[in-house]
Amino acid sequence: MVNPGGFAFAKRLDGEGSVFIPPGRLGDALDGDEVEVDIWPGDKGPEGRLRAVIKRRRTRVVGILAKAGNRRWVLEAEDMRLLPTVTVVGGSRGTAFGKVVVSRIVDYPCRRHSDIRVEVERELGEPGELDVEVQKILIERSIDDHFPTRVLEEAEKTPERVTDDDLGNRADLRAFGFMTIDPPDARDFDDAVCVTPLGEDSDSCDFRLHVAVADVSHYVRDGSAIDEEAIFRCFSAYLPDRAIPMLPEALSTHICSLVADEDRAAMVVAMTVDPAGAVRDLEVMAAVIHSQRRLSYNQVAHELNEGAEPRLPLPICRRIRDLRLVSDRLRAARLRRGAVELNLPETKILLDDDDRTRIRDVVQSRASPEMARAYNLIEELMLAANEGVGQIAVENRLPIVFRVHATPDVKKLEKLCDAAAALGIRVDPETLETPRGVQKFLSKTSTRTRHEALNSLMLRAMAQAEYRTENVGHFALASKAYAHFTSPIRRYPDLVTHRVMKAWLQKEGKKCGPHPVPHMPKLVESDEHSARSSTREREVMQAERDAKALFSAVHMLDRIGDRFEGRITGMSQGGVFVQLASPCVDGMIKMASFEKTTRESYTLDDSGVFLMGSRTGFKIILGDRVVVEVENSSVARRQIDFRLVETSSLDSQRSSRPRAKRT
């Protein structure tokens, strides 16, 4: 990853962390390239310099076409990580002057020249237009919102209904009470759930849980045009104004989607859950189901509200409460073994129903406890199914793509402990090397005034979850084996897992679906899928974050000069990061603005959790409440700039700073 400041970090392919590349030692490498690096010990970790570029990753550049002299045209690249000059060569350029264009790289930096040379492919439009800015994000992250013709033609041949041929070698579960629970605007339905009490008293009896997942592998065959495109996309992308699916709509929203009142091919994970949340009698099978009801999280949240009058038929209400009971059992068992839960806000962009370019608000997606419980209900059942598949894979040594989450890095834990100490909480780094230790730490701090800040710090200290064929367990879930199985419509690793499980089921003589059954992939195939999945997941997640930041910036254009309450979520030498309470947007108080307003300079402490004034000694601490004024909102930079108006300490022993005067 290249920083606009001229330095970079190279992630080692052997998984041994990253190497710092100081300014001047990057050579002709670009952000995203696969490189060979000379490494030596540095003061703060491994340092290195570029030896050679092994593989170029970037093929296109998006930016504003500009003139530099009489005969020279350049592209003002949107991506600040591109440090070299981008020179435009060939073709007609004058008509697109000042416009956002997409260009193809025809020559990379080398010994002969230091610039990137490109040819303009197409014009996107005026800078700042919402759709143009969205297209820029998609191109930056190699996300295509159109399917190739050959893929669409292949998708058109997919049957619209389940046929008799599709039912072969499947368990018939159509009489079971499956239901889907999703957001109200969902278009694809990966999973459906069903629980059956195995006794009279629901509080004390066992339950049989069935989690049905769309059998995408039945319709997407290895090596087909649809499969090749799915490998390229790897994930669906969900932006505020659109969903860009991994699979064509003929599959994602129709034959593969577990819509209500239709027969559908499914892969089902079944298990018995006892009152203590222990799981036994685990099995996987190919099946046919018939979802009996489509429910939204809003509906489920209402029915889980003890004081609310039921709006759904009583049998459906009873099923919801049984699902919640089983979910609570599973969650309690997961927490007892030490699973970590970080309570961090998630935002949602609300758009006008009639005009998708009009932003109504930016809110927390799970604002009420009832809504949080509704989401958690399904999440717990999916966790149980995924963990069950991971357990089967380990026991049978299957070449599956595991979802792994490694133990946090010791140095990051030490930094976290320093930050916690600066906030008045003492903790030994060694105690945070186990999930239970992290859980106890977060539980101890849950009543503290800065618990949100501590949750954020803990997240930064933890490793990033990724896909691997080597099973190292899942730290945050305190799970010995975990795999993604429950979302094959929108995640390619799940599709790979389905193929592995079907091949294994056939070998075991169990319900594996009709022939031809997918072959058991070799470990090297799964290795390739896991590496690509981890890379593409990061790109898609960043696109989704960028899009939220873009829409937030557009939303705040009309709020410049308005004042809002918020809290400090981060600090750096460049400034203070603030999240507003309502609307729930993120922005920054630049250090120059901060110091001008408070009339003194500030120093960031080594732990990174407070700024101290050089003249008064007053501290601005991570988690403090502030009142800010919107100073600027840049659509192009996807950034909101604030000006400090007032700070409010969360510590009873520390007095609040007086209101900052307008300058």
> Do 449 and 512 belong to one domain?
no
For residue 516, being part of any structural domain is answered with yes
State the DSSP H helix or E strand holding residue 521, giving kind and residue range, or none if neither: none
User: What is the per-residue pLDDT for 93?
Assistant: 60
User: Domain check: are 106 and 162 in the same one?
Assistant: no
Does residue 658 lie within any of the structural domains?
no
Residue 47 pLDDT greater than 80, yes or no = yes
> For position 94, what pLDDT does the model report?
61
Q: Which domain holds residue 393?
A: 149-337+349-399+485-548
- Residue found under tokens 């099973």: 471
As a whole number, mean pLDDT of residues 60-66 equals 90
Q: How confident is the model at residue 654 (pLDDT cuts 50, 70, 90)?
A: very low
Residue 135 belongs to a domain: no
Q: CA–CA separation, 394 vs 250, rounded Å?
A: 35
Same domain for 49 and 71?
Answer: no
pLDDT at 130 over 70: yes
Q: Is residue 141 part of a domain?
A: no
Report pLDDT for 17. 78
| Residues 441-466 pLDDT 10s | 998 887 777 888 888 999 999 999 99
Instruction: For residues 403 and 390, give the distance between their C-alpha atoms in angstroms, rounded to a whole number.
Output: 9
Q: What's the pLDDT band for 640 if we cut at 50, 70, 90? A: very high
Residue 663 has a pLDDT of 37
Question: Does residue 217 share a domain with residue 156?
Answer: yes
Let me know whether 36 and 102 are in one domain.
no
Mean pLDDT of the chain: 91
**Residue 40 sits in the same domain as residue 64:** no
Q: Per-residue pLDDT tens for 107-123?
A: 999 888 999 999 998 89
Q: Has residue 366 got a pLDDT over 80?
A: no
Examine the domain organization and report whether 24 and 80 are in the same domain: no
Residue whose token pair is 């278009």 = 187
End position of a domain, from candidates 20, 37, 55: 55
What is the spatial distance between Cα 272 and Cα 89, in angstroms, rounded to a whole number? Answer: 65
Residue spans of beta strands (DSSP E) within 527-614: 563-572, 575-580, 586-590, 602-604, 610-613
Taking Cα atoms as reference points, which of 599, 611, 606, 600 lies closest to residue 568?
611
My answer on whether 278 and 250 are in the same domain is yes
Same-domain status, 538 and 642: no
- Give the domain-ending residue among 92, 127, 162: 127
- The domain tally of the chain equals 5
On whether both 169 and 305 belong to a single domain, the answer is: yes
Any domain includes 432: yes
C-alpha pair distances (Å), 278 with each of 273, 328, 384: 6, 12, 10
In a domain, 44, yes or no: yes
Is the pTM value of this prediction over 0.75?
yes
Indicate if 49 and 87 belong to the same structural domain: no
The torsion of the CA quartet 405, 408, 409, 412, rounded to 10 degrees, works out to 130
Whether 198 is in a domain gets the answer: yes
For residue 4, what pLDDT is reported?
84
Domain boundary among 528, 548, 568: 548
Q: Is residue 661 in a domain?
A: no
504 and 365 part of one domain: yes
What's the mean pLDDT in 433-446?
A: 90
